[in-house]
A and B are shown apart, each in its own frame.
Chain A
């Protein structure tokens, strides 16, 4: 294992985060705080509690997920797309480094950034709403699993994308709507039965529900099902990445 190379890629990506701290950390933390102010403190006070949890507190897990999902994808996809775009990818491909090590470096850094961001948003939420975490290990595990899985997914997008528009299209047009419609701001029980059924086709429902379960001990779907779905996304992402490197898809001719 070329640990030095993994460390080099990891540190390079982490330094990028510190160089662009406004974009990487400050912007998502501030924009999520605005949600807490508007939906938690302002509008939230006139909305009745859900499953015994005040509305402001109810939306915390969903908003953390929203940021973590989009940032995991953005960080990992940009991390691998940029060297492809500039042509510097030749260095990674000609270095004595395996595909697994490349993935660990890029996805590891993207995961770390999202984890830091998720924890920062959680800390910030405390300033605006009451937050209680019923099961901290479970919350940590769910957060970590989500960060890894969606960083892997972001890595796939970074390999697939041919331009900056394609790089943005999945986070903006797929992930954000699915997160909004996946119960970030409401319980699925509040929907008409037909929309509840349709919502179960949304894979992000399971992640948001499982994450919320670790906070308040209840969710829209069974905790076990949430875990199985999260593990399934992880396995599918890993299998796609394995195929990419086996075939050299968009990397080697």
Chain B
């Protein structure tokens, strides 16, 4: 059995910007080695601040961040060498070629030139043909790939992606997902923030939700959906039902256009669906069809943010 150690440990992390804006409040979070962790949150929730603090771009107000047991304030060099960052903005030197800009990043991180490695990296990101192009001639999607290539140029084992597929078309987004899965397979720990719930649902092993600078929940993806997800059953009735019979009042049913709706908490052990079926039979309510639906991660996310 693979034992996942905690590669990043964040404890009681606070960030207050000048002007007294509190961006993060007592954040505790652990990231496991080799996992894909998705951090979800609305705009201004504190996602980028959190990533920026781990990557050394923003100062800590209080609290600690440890990477592989090392405090980022005590041993920043050792830690930074292991981290790659794809920032949210497409920040590139527009006059540089793809090849030069990726080599530049590798050099900044203290690595000697390795043309073969960079060649393979560019090929894996479908950038090899563009290696002689200057950044200003590339499309947004291509620039985003270069940002990923730059983040991987120094062979990091921890990769942060701050909204990596923002503004990227569906096909390229799916390509990127495949590439990130391949990276995870090679042992890279991936932490990504995203607005696309579908992306988190597709990619993540665990999901953290942050809102107003506070971590609302951290849970395995499947467990989160199971734990907080609601189930919904719709009965397409044979005959119109003008009013819900008194015997069915406990089920809090709703009716609309000859469809009877029942929403329930799947983790509630007191609920037995068979009771509803029995009650419908007793009331002689017949139906042509039944559809069931489990709430999506998106619905769970919206609910969590609303209630936090």
Interface residues of A (CB under 8 A from B): 2, 4-5, 7-9, 11-12, 19, 82-83, 86-88, 90-98, 248, 252-253
Contact, CB under 8 Å: B93 / A94: no
Report the minimal beta-carbon distance from A243 to chain B, rounded to whole angstroms: 15
Q: Contacts A96-B78, A96-B81 hold; do A88 and B91 have CB atoms under 8 A apart?
A: yes
- The complex places the Cα of A2 from the Cα of B109 at a distance, in Å, of 8
Selected A-B contacts with CB under 8 Å, 8 pairs: A4-B111, A5-B107, A5-B109, A7-B107, A12-B104, A83-B93, A88-B91, A93-B56
From DSSP, what is the main secondary structure of chain A's interface residues?
Answer: helix
Q: Is B236 an interface residue (CB 8 A)?
A: no
Tally B residues with Cβ within 8 Å of A: 31
At the interface with chain A, which of B82-90, B185-193, B285-293? Answer: B82-90
Q: B68-104 CB contact bits vs A (8 Å, 1 = yes)?
A: 0000000011111101010101011111000000001
Contact, CB under 8 Å: B58 / A96: no
Contact partners of A8 in chain B: CB under 8 A: 104, 107-108
A19, A86, A253: which contacts B18 (Cβ < 8 A)?
A253
Most chain A CB atoms below 10 A, which of B18, B78, B107: B107
11 extra interface residue pairs, beta carbon distance < 8 Å, beyond A90-B85, A94-B55:
A2-B110, A5-B107, A5-B108, A19-B95, A86-B92, A86-B94, A88-B91, A90-B55, A94-B85, A96-B81, A96-B109
Contact partners of B77 in chain A: CB under 8 A: 2, 96, 98
- The complex places the Cα of A86 from the Cα of B59 at a distance, in Å, of 21
Report the minimal beta-carbon distance from B305 to chain A, rounded to whole angstroms: 25
Contact, CB under 8 Å: A96 / B76: yes
- The complex places the Cα of A92 from the Cα of B91 at a distance, in Å, of 13
Q: Is B105 an interface residue (CB 8 A)?
A: yes
Give B58's nearest chain A residue, CB to CB.
A253
Report the minimal beta-carbon distance from A46 to chain B, rounded to whole angstroms: 47
Contact, CB under 8 Å: A95 / B104: no
Give B55's nearest chain A residue, CB to CB.
A94
Chain B 136-169 interface residues, beta-carbon cutoff 8 Å to A: 150
Q: Contacts A7-B107, A91-B150 hold; do A86 and B55 have CB atoms under 8 A apart?
A: no
Contact partners of B92 in chain A: CB under 8 A: 86, 88
Contact partners of A7 in chain B: CB under 8 A: 107
- The complex places the Cα of A132 from the Cα of B58 at a distance, in Å, of 54
Q: Contacts A7-B107, A8-B107 hold; do A86 and B93 have CB atoms under 8 A apart?
A: yes
Give A102's nearest chain B residue, CB to CB.
B108
Contact, CB under 8 Å: B105 / A5: no
Report the minimal beta-carbon distance from A84 to chain B, rounded to whole angstroms: 10
Contact partners of A88 in chain B: CB under 8 A: 91-93
Give B92's nearest chain A residue, CB to CB.
A88
Q: Contacts A4-B111, A86-B92, A88-B93 hold; do A94 and B83 have CB atoms under 8 A apart?
A: yes
Give B160's nearest chain A residue, CB to CB.
A94
Contact partners of B95 in chain A: CB under 8 A: 19
- The complex places the Cα of A88 from the Cα of B109 at a distance, in Å, of 14
Contact partners of A11 in chain B: CB under 8 A: 107
